[in-house]
Amino acid sequence: MSTEDIINALRNDNLDAARSETQNILYQKTGEYVQNKKNEISANITKTDISATDEE
């Protein structure tokens, strides 16, 4: 469901569907953000570990 579908559900007073799909979108976006952050941290740790090894 897209944001347009959520708005249409709200207009049709289908609050349960709107709430459910809003939660689904928020969970999806949160999951994507967390995964991106994990990848970013992983890349930074790898760079830091390689730099520390090169200095020794």
Structural domain harbouring 25 = 3-55
Q: Which of 6, 25, 26 is nearest to 16 (CA)?
A: 6
Rounded CA-CA distance 34/28 in Å is 10
pLDDT of residue 52: 61
Q: What is the pLDDT of residues 2-56, one digit of tens each?
A: 889 899 999 999 999 999 999 999 999 999 999 999 999 998 887 776 666 655 5
User: CA-CA distances (angstroms) from residue 45 to 20, 35, 56?
Assistant: 37, 15, 17
Split into its structural domains, the chain has a count of 1
Residues 6+ apart with CB under 8 A from 22: 6
Say how far apart CA 41 and CA 26 lie, in whole Å.
22
Q: pLDDT value at position 46?
A: 79
